Chains A and B, each alone.
Chain A
Amino acid sequence: MPGERREAMVTLLFRLASVVFALLLTALVLVLVQAPPLEAFRLILKGAFGSPKKVADIFVIWIPLLLTSAGLLLTFHAGLWNIGIEGQIVLGAVFATGVLRYLQDTTIAPTLALILAFVAAALGGMIWALLSGVLKVYGGVNEIFSGLGLDFVAVTLVLYLIFGPWKRPGVGSMSGTEPFPRELWLPTLEKMRLSPWALALALVAWIMVIVLLQRSYFGLRLRAVGRNPRAAYLMMGLSPARLTLLAFAICGVFAGLAGAIQVTAVYHRLIPAISSGYGWLGLLVGMLVNYSPIWIGPVAWFFAMLNLGSIQLPIVLKVDSTLAGVLQGTLVYSFLLGEGIRMKWQQRRREIGESE
């Protein structure tokens, strides 16, 4: 077993080196655009931790990101590239909005209305995910292509709704639909946008995915199908089709719930960019943590912090607003680079150690 412990040490060292390398590279970029790097880092930290409200806002971003990342881990482990995740968030948001719009004029209890909205959102996300699944299983369509297509359809659908049937009185605008009455907002902490209910939901989803993937037969079967569907079918008698659909369905539910939270707790209406790109970011988180369910929590939180912290950066330092994206990208790439080098290195050692 000492070999394994050494391997874990090597992994950790490589990861730390990646982070240091990323910071240096980022500093270089900042120097190139003539912004003081240390000041920039300070501003990011201030932007994220400057006040209790800001800290709470980290969690506002973290919640939907964690939900989507958790869902994506299931599809990742089933060997699927669920690129349709953005569309699944959007459909969740659309279904939630639809239900709330319908119920806001009735006398139904607000709590019940919200619950129904969340159920509908889960359903919406699931349907959208299952479309990709069905196309793959029965039509042989790669989920990357169908997902990408369905993402576009979802975004178009939202624009149609905002400027068409659900437009504000008068003319529709990019600012979204008419906000819901206050009693249909998901309850949040005083003067903050953070909802304890949403937080609880995200944590439950996270724990569920950890348990499923690390302890359950279902998770093991999912991984079996993800690693080698043919062998899982022949040797284990598993049905790759069914497990693929299940993974898509659960991921869709989580994404739909993230959409519902965006609608009911953050924006209180449907807006064109309702997903905030958390689907894409979730894919990134999943890959970065090497599909480890425990690590999506801290890493998603780190990205949430970075996202929030760099909002102020362009304004204060007078640099282009895309700089925040550059910083994130640099970080991700140097991390992946480090991982790549590490795996190559470890694989070579393993090959030498175990051939013959």
Chain B
Amino acid sequence: MRVELRNIHKHFGPVHANAGITLTFEEGKIHGLLGENGAGKSTLMKILSGFYRPDDGEIYLDGQRVSFHHPADALRQGVGMLHQDPLDFPVMTVLENFMAGSPGGMVPDKRKARKSLKTLGEQFGFHLDPDATVASLTVGERQQLEILRLLWLGARVLIFDEPTTGISAQQKERLFQALRQLASEGRTIIFVTHKLYEVQELCDTAAVLRLGKLMGRRTAPYDLDDLVKLMFGRVLKMERKPAVPLGEPIFRVEDLAVESARVRIRNVYLEVRAGEVIGLAGMEGSGQRYLLRACAGLLRPTSGRVWFRGREMTGRSYLDFYQAGATYLPATRLEEGLLPGLRVADHLVLTRGSRGFFVNERHARDLAQEAIRTFNIRGRPDSMVEALSGGNQQRLLLSLLRPNLSLLFLEHPTRGLDMESTLWVWEQLLERCRQGTAIFFMSSDLDELLNYSDRILVFFAGQVSAPIPAEELDTESLGRLIGGYGFVPVEEAQTMSVGEAAHAR
């Protein structure tokens, strides 16, 4: 189905989210829609899928003018959208979710649905247990379910909004295969992303949005620098962490072990110096989070000893680490990092100045005002945090970190951020390194790990390697280690000489 958007406008208050966008998506192709956070991609796609109504402009499907009042409307006419966060019902089973939204009276035909789910799934190599609850699925599997559901409901135009965030490499491979297959069957695929390499790998065409406007349209093969310039108006590149003179050792673990049903991390010896950055690499769920949490006192290690700033902290809780100058920054902002329902100013007061009994409202506002200015947060001191956009929430989270932190633990510090925001976040973090903060971070972005870490711990299947200096690795060798090729768990490495371990790599 050929999709035409003509002169689409959408305002949100003072923000002109879509400013006269005209775009055509031919059928049988995969179309990339590129742009940084807040460029207007999601808005445009929500208009196409019936979530929003445009203020102005027209939509044509195969030359027919259409207007949608509701997402179900759009779906009836063949346009379906997969959202960034799967909009499903976790407590229901796969089959029940599959059937949700299907027309067909009070008594749904379960048997027929079960069969369709199976045959459709086989077509794409998606193996989903119809009776498992959706809560037990991974994000990638939930996506697969949603794709099958949309197809079953007759979608001929499929919109994917940042579908590769939070799914494993294999699932991504399978997803891309499915998308290619769908396109070859004549469906129109629109792929929203801010990741250039995905566009390069997958998309036949790429349209770039910036600040609500269409900046240009390119077809494969692409000139990456050209796309970057369209996206940001200038060329952006990750810089290698500049040499920061490392200070005293401030954190040390000896013979640390974290073990559970899925994780067997043993024999970890590590000494971290002020200003040093340790990257934790590995596929999602390989045990990185366990070690990170064990180091921060959030998880009790099975054995081993921990020192922080000269004091033994073995067995101490996170609150003791916090008071001694460590902070753990979680990946999920609203779930674990911020307090929905409280204002920006409240957040700053809670992390900074709790002197005396009463809250000084003026002081609170000043703190918030300063954070808003220095961290470039789009919001006011009395904005509720849940009203801020994702990027602004991330900035607020960083602004909440106390000055003079000694140790910072980060889960995926830049997940879901575009290049510009990513660079900005690391600018802030490196500034802290210069002031003597040591950083532990886990990430699934190889470039981020290689560019910003001094040493990298690689995790594979619940085991951890000895720390490897980042300059000894490149994308390829790190990628292999993460995939288990040449991976040597630290407990085995210890019996080899250093030379042998390097050789094994």
Contact = CB atoms under 8 A, between A and B. Distances in A.
Nearest to A238: B350
B18 to A, nearest CB: 9
A215 B358 contact: yes
Interface string A209-245: 0000001111011011001101111111111000000
A216 B346 CA distance: 11
Interface in B39-56: 40, 42-43, 52
A253 B29 CA distance: 69
B47 to A, nearest CB: 12
A246 to B, nearest CB: 14
A230 B335 contact: yes
B459 to A, nearest CB: 22
A107 interface: no
B339 A215 contact: no
B39 to A, nearest CB: 9
Contact of B328 (A215, A234, A352, A354): A234
B385 to A, nearest CB: 10
A220 B342 CA distance: 9
Contacts of B42: 356
Contacts of B351: 235-237
B15 A356 contact: yes
Interface stretch (B232-240, B243-251, B319-327, B367-375): B319-327
B119 interface: no
Interface in B404-460: none
Contacts of B359: 215-217, 220
A6 interface: no
Contact of A350 (B340, B349, B387): B387
Contacts of A350: 387
Contacts of B357: 216-218
B337 A234 contact: yes
B185 to A, nearest CB: 33
Contacts of A231: 330, 335-339
Contacts of B38: 356
Contacts of A221: 350, 354
A220 B351 CA distance: 11
B350 A354 contact: no
A237 B339 contact: no
Contact of A354 (B12, B318, B338, B346): B12
Contacts, number: 92
A140 interface: no
A220 B339 CA distance: 11
A171 B440 CA distance: 73
Interface string B329-357: 11000011111111000110111001011
B376 interface: no
B342 A223 contact: yes
A169 interface: no
Contacts of A216: 357-359
Given A220-B350, A353-B13, A227 B341 contact: yes
A51 interface: no
B337 A354 contact: no
Contact of A220 (B43, B346, B389, B397): B346
B17 interface: yes
A355 interface: yes
A125 to B, nearest CB: 24
B400 interface: yes
B330 A234 contact: yes
A237 B329 CA distance: 12
Nearest to B350: A236
Nearest to A215: B358
A218 B356 CA distance: 10
Main secondary structure of the interface of A (DSSP, over half): helix
Contacts of A215: 358-359
A231 B334 CA distance: 8
A354 B13 contact: yes
Main secondary structure of the interface of B (DSSP, over half): mixed
Given A217-B354, A217-B358, A220-B359, A233 B327 contact: no
Contacts of A353: 12-13
Interface string A341-356: 0000000001011111
Contact of A356 (B17, B328, B346): B17
Contacts of A223: 339, 341-342, 346
B403 to A, nearest CB: 15
The residue among B15, B322, B350 with the most chain A CB atoms within 10 A of its own CB is B350
Interface in A300-356: 350, 352-356
A215 B15 CA distance: 35
B12 A352 contact: yes
B1 to A, nearest CB: 26
Contacts of B335: 228, 230-231
Contacts of B13: 353-354
A234 B329 CA distance: 7
Given A234-B318, A235-B397, A228 B350 contact: no
A352 B15 CA distance: 11
A293 to B, nearest CB: 15
B354 A224 contact: no
A195 B15 CA distance: 60
A207 to B, nearest CB: 14
A9 to B, nearest CB: 18
Contact of B319 (A235, A237, A356): A237
Contacts of A217: 349, 354, 356-359
Contacts of A233: 318-319
Contacts of B387: 350, 354
A354 B319 CA distance: 35
A344 to B, nearest CB: 16
A264 to B, nearest CB: 32
B148 to A, nearest CB: 28
A221 B13 CA distance: 33
A97 B33 CA distance: 74
A356 to B, nearest CB: 5
Nearest to B330: A234
B394 to A, nearest CB: 13
Contacts of B400: 235
Contact of B12 (A224, A235, A356): A356
A237 B328 CA distance: 10
Contact of A355 (B43, B337, B350, B354): B43
Contacts of B358: 215-217
Nearest to B39: A356
Contact of A228 (B15, B17, B40, B338): B338
Given A233-B318, A355-B12, A227 B339 contact: yes
Contacts of B322: 237
A223 B385 CA distance: 14
Nearest to A239: B319
Contacts of A224: 339, 342, 346, 350
A138 to B, nearest CB: 14
A16 B319 CA distance: 47
Given A236-B351, A354-B387, A356-B42, A228 B318 contact: no
A220 B349 contact: yes
Contacts of A356: 12, 15, 17, 38, 40, 42-43, 389
Contacts of A235: 327, 329, 337-338, 347, 351, 397, 400
11 contacts: A215-B358, A216-B357, A220-B346, A220-B349, A232-B350, A235-B327, A237-B319, A352-B52, A355-B43, A356-B12, A356-B389
Given A216-B359, A217-B357, A217-B359, 8 more contacts: A220-B346, A223-B346, A232-B339, A234-B318, A236-B351, A350-B387, A352-B12, A356-B12
Shortest Cβ-Cβ A-B pairs, 5 listed? A237-B322, A227-B339, A236-B350, A356-B17, A228-B339
